[in-house]
Structure 1
Amino acid sequence: MSHQPDSEAGVGELKGLMEQSHKQFRDCVEDLKHNPPSSVSKFMKRLEFISKRSKFPSLINMVYRYKQDMILTFTLKQSGEQEMAKKNEQENLRINVITWFKGADAAVTYAQTREKYQEGTGSWFLEAGSFQNFKSESGQRLWIHGIPGCGKTILSGSIIESMQCTLSKEEYMKCGLAYFFFSYADTAKQTIEGMLSTLAAQLCEKVPILPPDIVHLYRENITQLTRHILLKALIILAKAFNRIYFVIDALDEVSISDRDILVSTLRTISTNTSLANINFIVTSRREPYLESLNEYVSESVCLTTSIVDSDIRFFLATKLEQELKFAKWNADLKITVTEALITGAQGMFRWVDCQIHELKKCLRPINIRKALSRLPPSLEETYKRILLQISEESRVLLARLLIWVTFSPKPIRIEALAEAIIFELDSHENEIDPDSRFPDPEDILELGGASLLVANEARKVTLTHYSVKEYLLSERFQSDPELASWKNLMQDPYIYLSRVCIGYLSTSSIVASPDSLQEPNTLDGVYHLRRTAQIEWPCYVKQCEVPIRQTLETTLSEALYPSDIRKTGKGAKFFRRTTQATKCLRKITGRYRC
């Protein structure tokens, strides 16, 4: 549009010419009134004279130029709108495909690993030749293994952070990174489908344009998503990158039923020529069913005690200098603590972390030295001591909390747990005494100290480490006479969880609301366990024996739809509203999966 005049000046000029033309035509009309032409030919000549005398031709030229400019402007605008519509369509399609994969939110776990990271730890691996080759060469597959609590997950977080920095460089711009953390705390993060779908979803977020084959795969299989389809999706996505890097943590926390499938899937990724540009690092304990990985990985890295001890020394140096509680200790005491903990750790970061939490409780150096002289020899002994230190008053509440966190299929919000552990099954009409509620739900974490429980950014509570769950389920815990009271408090966990959920849903305050099983509901702001109980109770009931299962089902049915109402026919409208309860009852019979 080089011929387009300046907008304001052009409009002013156009307006002036139009006013002049308008004046000349007005004069022409007046002239015709006073001096009418004797013939049509004379009239036309007069008009011709006026048009030549005026700036009428300039006006016409300018209007023409503006017309051309407006046509060009509208054409460009329409083209831009079409381009924007196309981009929106592509972005919506990308969102639909990512949603279809239903990947787990691995970013939350990654953020937690970075919060626990201490400067300097893991540098031995990040600077090693094997990791440099992993970044620069294709076909590199590494297996990092070690004992429980040796810091594998924190190292995975450091590897991911390092790879993110690497991929920001220009020579790596056409490379992709995806990661996954298996987790004992969430059943959705214990399956191979969960792993593959998460990796595929992350790659779809990073690829500039979705490959047509992925779009076709999505449209052909929109109602299903199997392991075979997910592997096919990875093969397609692999072609969109020069190289792909996977970091997969805690293979040993995969569900028992998926162990063989896990090894088979990793073997497929390692041997399939269509996936040759995929590098991966996996971490785990050295479990027997994973030994065959040695046949497919390019290098196996063992986190030995000597390697981990250097990281533990970094960890302790940072802790003792930066935390206010420890900063007040004198230098000799810090050295004594450091050496005692490194010696007792035997390569277990987790053990050191637990002892640090216990040492925080010591008020004087003499107490600290006494605690160092009787350090527990193992993680199991550490957990036992923590449990035995819990007061009788707090023991019941902590036992209930541990049941909820250990046996629930996924993490539960802290507000719901604070409500669950105070619910008394034998109370009148199952109503909750308002005075029994925690003013601050986060106070429930103090029941077991920082060594057993932790809440993430989403305010969902988990055990601090997989080894805590293993200990609570172990034969040693069950058979230890010193822990008999804990065993009694935690027996029949699924019956307890089922009864609490059903009892809670049966409280008069909740049942009295005709929309008590609908969402959203104002009751959620007061009865924080309502939604969790409504959604999860079938999963708990399903773990019970059949006679108990039937009794529990009858209990909830009677609470939701009392027999006297059923006989009179009243309340039918209310019963129809309990669609969620009906669906839950069907789950028990196997028509739905928990």
Structure 2
Amino acid sequence: MEWLTQSDSALQQQDFLRRRQPGTGQWFLDSEEYRAWLQTAGETLFCPGIPGSGKTILTSIVVDDITTRFRNDDSVGIAYVYCNFRPADRQNTEDLVMSLLKQLAQGQPSLPESVKSLYDRHVKRQTRPSFDEISGAIQSVATIFSRVFLIIDALDECHQSKLLTEMFNLSAKRGANVFVTSRFIPEVTEMFDRRTYLEIRASKRDIEMYLEGNMPQKFHQLQDEIKTSISDAVDGMFRLADIYLRSLDDKITPREVRNALARLQKQSPGSGGDERIQILSQVYEHAMERIDGQMSGFKQLARSVLSWITCAKRPLTALELQHALAVNVGDTRLDEENLSRIEDMISVCAGLVTVDKESIVRFVHYTAQEYFQQTQQRWFSDANNHIASICVTYLSFIVFESGYCQSDDEFKERLRLNPFYDYAAHNWGYHARETLTLRGEVIDFLQDQKKVEASSQALSVVERESAYLNYSRASPRRMTGLHLAAYFGVEKAVNALLLTGKVDVNSKSNSGQTPLLYAAERGHEAVVKLLLDTGKVDINSKSNSGRTPLLYAAERGHEAVVKLLLDTGKVDIESKDDSGRTPLSWAAGSGHEAVVKLLLDTGKVDVESKDESGQTPLSWAAESGHEAVVKLLLDTGKVDINSKSTSGRTPLSYAAERGHEAVVKLLQV
């Protein structure tokens, strides 16, 4: 189960349900639409709502209601996901469907054979299953149950089309009931045409109940006035009600409270999207005015907390943020006496920030995240430069001077004792890449080989996701500062290192990768050009798995990088990796139409090249259902549509097995 995914939707469910004000949401459970959805297999219930209307809390109410109803019925499968508004670093479609698969499989007394087969097929090779394999497994597991309920909150915050198609397939083929919430976004609502629809909008009674349960005692005498004024002003937005209630915290006298309530009445969200955004902006700007009106130390702490939450590349735990805030540029070790208390970090932020049950520090609502990201240059113009410096300062601490950990236990202890180590190693380069100028401490860090080794070890371990064993043997050694700068695509750092004349542009890590290989694999066009312009790079250098820069770029669909490499006239376009696959084979199998066209236009590729399994580029494209690529290959007039793999499979056989109807039609000529 842990190999499938480490995400735990149950923890999120507990956290969201805990925030529910008792009694709220009953109107939804009593609605005809919800009752009909419960009783009819294969039904979909789509519930859109405006931001802050309580969609996520209501989803937790639905999950709780269903699990309570079928608590003693093992024949009913229930799975749910809460899509995250943060960058989808670990919430791509595959991860979300894996989470649903894990939950359904956990409901069985023994491991379903389809899941065991998936595990056996990939764990030894340290690979991850394709979406088609995951889809087949969840379809298989769904057949075990008499009823299946699938709940997706905030569909608009993830890769909706592919995920929704999978849910609709489960509904059509297995009779699964699908429940979805989303904001009002046209490309989402259009996908639910002619399906049952029920808008989520906090009732006035629900908001009043929420206000009653969260109102400070000092407002007791004005309780009715506050309830009426705020519930009228927020127009069905729970989150805005909470923000408005918090905005009264610094009001002392009844007159001050009534004056504030009168101003709120003038800021009713109404129904207009632009007006709502303007009002929310006013709310967050007012919160910033309150923050800036604090004593200097409180103001500085609040702005630091908000800048980190706004600009961080992934959510930070409270402990990580504590350590980040405690670092000053130039430090050589962490000063424990400089750690801020979590309570202080939250209290100075005027109600904008909270710590959830998983100890993640975040904004109270995604509209705050959106607001501060959109206005980042106004509030935190130098944040990325500062964060990059803090990260490399942390990675340059004396504790990392020993370089690479020689054992798993030593590495685990390093992670435990240095909570910010993981984030700093993984993200310093992303922050550095977004700066206008590069600070000297970044170059100093990249020129210290031992510290580069310590950083690269943490970087490689987490990249392997669920492979949490054999840290010391799995991580790439011999990475240099140039490798790291190329990996992250920090053009200014690469240029600075090249100008020193002291770097080996063809140096290899123990995985056999050169700086050019890293840059090509990750699509960093500017860095690839810098390296090529040196005239010293081995453009056909191979990694330990036999992959060249061109092959990596083709596999990942980095069109601009592929063009740069081809334009040199020096690349081996037919170079094969250890599995016998060419750049064209990988590009075709991954569905990168533009790259396939670039390769075909050279007139130098063998469109019938076979790998060790006997599969051609056409076979790979057909198996994955890439219609446009299949058409490109067929249009060359040089492919054998009846070519057979070592197991006797034709492209048509692969396409038919996976249900790719459009590809099957193309191949039936």
TM-score (norm 2): 0.61
Q: Distance in 2 between matches of 1:110 and 1:584?
A: 38
Against the structure 1 CA distance between its residues 355 and 592, is the aligned structure 2 distance closer, same or farther, given a 3 Å change threshold?
A: farther
Structure 2 gaps of 5+ residues are: 268-278, 453-474, 489-517, 524-669
- Of the three residues 190, 211, 229, the one matched with 1:292 is 190
Against the structure 1 CA distance between its residues 418 and 165, is the aligned structure 2 distance closer, same or farther, given a 3 Å change threshold?
A: same
Residues 109, 181 of structure 1: 8 Å contact kept? yes
Of 415-424 and 261-270, more deviation after overlay is shown by 261-270
* Cα shift at 1:590: 4.8
Against the structure 1 CA distance between its residues 263 and 173, is the aligned structure 2 distance closer, same or farther, given a 3 Å change threshold?
A: closer
Structure 1 counterpart of 2:355, one-letter code: A
Against the structure 1 CA distance between its residues 514 and 263, is the aligned structure 2 distance closer, same or farther, given a 3 Å change threshold?
A: closer
Aligned to 2:412: 520
- Of the three residues 356, 363, 371, the one matched with 1:471 is 371
Aligned to 2:232: 343
* Partner SS, residue 247 of structure 2: helix
Aligned to 1:494: 384
Query: 2:20 aligned with 1:117, yes or no?
Result: yes
Structure 1 gaps of 5+ residues are: 1-97, 564-576
Q: Distance in 2 between matches of 1:590 and 1:311?
A: 53
* Partner SS, residue 246 of structure 1: strand
- Of the three residues 123, 126, 129, the one matched with 1:225 is 129
Cα deviations across residues 273-311 of structure 1 (Å, max 9, x unaligned)?
A: 423x21011101010110222236x3111124xx53232
Correspondence 1:29-428 to 2 at 5 A: 98-169=1-72, 172-185=73-86, 187-222=88-123, 223-254=127-158, 258-270=159-171, 273-275=172-174, 277-295=175-193, 298-304=195-201, 308-320=203-215, 325-326=216-217, 328-331=218-221, 333-375=222-264, 377=267, 378-390=279-291, 391=294, 392-425=296-329, 427=330
Aligned to 2:339: 437
Against the structure 1 CA distance between its residues 580 and 337, is the aligned structure 2 distance closer, same or farther, given a 3 Å change threshold?
A: farther
* Cα shift at 1:350: 0.6
Of 346-355 and 210-219, more deviation after overlay is shown by 210-219
Against the structure 1 CA distance between its residues 269 and 586, is the aligned structure 2 distance closer, same or farther, given a 3 Å change threshold?
A: farther
* Partner SS, residue 421 of structure 1: helix
Q: Distance in 1 between matches of 2:415 and 2:99?
A: 34
Query: 2:378 aligned with 1:505, yes or no?
Result: no
Against the structure 1 CA distance between its residues 396 and 539, is the aligned structure 2 distance closer, same or farther, given a 3 Å change threshold?
A: same
* Partner SS, residue 411 of structure 2: coil
Aligned to 1:447: 348
Residues 185, 462 of structure 1: 8 Å contact kept? no
Cα deviations across residues 118-162 of structure 1 (Å, max 9, x unaligned)?
A: 111110111122222222220111111111000000000100110
Residues 103, 197 of structure 1: 8 Å contact kept? no
Q: Distance in 2 between matches of 1:334 and 1:225?
A: 56
Against the structure 1 CA distance between its residues 587 and 108, is the aligned structure 2 distance closer, same or farther, given a 3 Å change threshold?
A: farther
Aligned to 2:421: 530
Residues 400, 451 of structure 2: 8 Å contact kept? no
* Cα shift at 1:510: 2.9
Cα deviations across residues 489-528 of structure 1 (Å, max 9, x unaligned)?
A: x125433322210022223x33455668962346954x54
Residues 259, 289 of structure 1: 8 Å contact kept? no
Residues 185, 406 of structure 1: 8 Å contact kept? no
Cα deviations across residues 511-569 of structure 1 (Å, max 9, x unaligned)?
A: 455668962346954x5433432343344445568x859x7764322244499xxxxxx
Against the structure 1 CA distance between its residues 151 and 593, is the aligned structure 2 distance closer, same or farther, given a 3 Å change threshold?
A: farther
Against the structure 1 CA distance between its residues 354 and 110, is the aligned structure 2 distance closer, same or farther, given a 3 Å change threshold?
A: same
Q: Distance in 1 between matches of 2:138 and 2:53?
A: 31
Q: Distance in 2 between matches of 1:537 and 1:312?
A: 43
Q: Distance in 2 between matches of 1:130 and 1:412?
A: 39
Query: 2:386 aligned with 1:461, yes or no?
Result: no
Q: Distance in 1 between matches of 2:129 and 2:435?
A: 30
* Cα shift at 1:591: 7.7
* Partner SS, residue 152 of structure 2: strand
* Partner SS, residue 154 of structure 1: helix
Structure with more relative contact order (C-alpha pairs < 8 Å, separation 6 or more): 1
Of 236-245 and 429-438, more deviation after overlay is shown by 429-438
* Cα shift at 1:178: 0.5
Taking only aligned residues, the RMSD between alpha carbons, in angstroms, comes to: 3.2
Structure 2 counterpart of 1:357, one-letter code: R
* Cα shift at 1:114: 1.2
Q: Distance in 1 between matches of 2:258 and 2:405?
A: 57
Instruction: Give percent identity, aligned residues only.
Output: 23
Cα deviations across residues 193-216 of structure 1 (Å, max 9, x unaligned)?
A: 121010000011002233333333
* Cα shift at 1:103: 4.9
Cα deviations across residues 63-91 of structure 1 (Å, max 9, x unaligned)?
A: xxxxxxxxxxxxxxxxxxxxxxxxxxxxx
Q: Distance in 2 between matches of 1:319 and 1:539?
A: 40
Q: Distance in 1 between matches of 2:385 and 2:395?
A: 15
Against the structure 1 CA distance between its residues 236 and 543, is the aligned structure 2 distance closer, same or farther, given a 3 Å change threshold?
A: farther
Q: Distance in 2 between matches of 1:144 and 1:557?
A: 50
Cα deviations across residues 375-426 of structure 1 (Å, max 9, x unaligned)?
A: 372322111101111134433333332232223233222122122124333x
* Partner SS, residue 143 of structure 1: strand
Aligned to 1:90: none
Residues 510, 523 of structure 1: 8 Å contact kept? no
Against the structure 1 CA distance between its residues 319 and 520, is the aligned structure 2 distance closer, same or farther, given a 3 Å change threshold?
A: same
Against the structure 1 CA distance between its residues 580 and 591, is the aligned structure 2 distance closer, same or farther, given a 3 Å change threshold?
A: farther
Structure 2 counterpart of 1:467, one-letter code: T
**Count of residues in correspondence between the two structures:** 450
Residues 103, 199 of structure 1: 8 Å contact kept? no
Against the structure 1 CA distance between its residues 561 and 351, is the aligned structure 2 distance closer, same or farther, given a 3 Å change threshold?
A: same
Structure 1 counterpart of 2:200, one-letter code: L
Q: Distance in 2 between matches of 1:229 and 1:562?
A: 40
Q: Distance in 1 between matches of 2:389 and 2:342?
A: 22
Aligned to 1:86: none
Q: Distance in 1 between matches of 2:229 and 2:339?
A: 42
* Cα shift at 1:356: 1.7
Against the structure 1 CA distance between its residues 379 and 538, is the aligned structure 2 distance closer, same or farther, given a 3 Å change threshold?
A: same
Of 108-117 and 401-410, more deviation after overlay is shown by 401-410
Residues 403, 450 of structure 2: 8 Å contact kept? no
Q: Distance in 1 between matches of 2:230 and 2:306?
A: 27
Aligned to 2:639: none
Residues 42, 176 of structure 2: 8 Å contact kept? yes
Residues 118, 129 of structure 2: 8 Å contact kept? no
Against the structure 1 CA distance between its residues 168 and 441, is the aligned structure 2 distance closer, same or farther, given a 3 Å change threshold?
A: closer
Structure 2 counterpart of 1:181, one-letter code: Y
Against the structure 1 CA distance between its residues 422 and 211, is the aligned structure 2 distance closer, same or farther, given a 3 Å change threshold?
A: closer
Residues 156, 183 of structure 2: 8 Å contact kept? yes
Q: Distance in 2 between matches of 1:181 and 1:562?
A: 38
Q: Distance in 2 between matches of 1:510 and 1:397?
A: 27
Residues 430, 506 of structure 1: 8 Å contact kept? yes
* Partner SS, residue 99 of structure 1: coil
Q: Distance in 1 between matches of 2:62 and 2:389?
A: 44
Q: Distance in 2 between matches of 1:182 and 1:409?
A: 17
Q: Distance in 2 between matches of 1:432 and 1:303?
A: 48
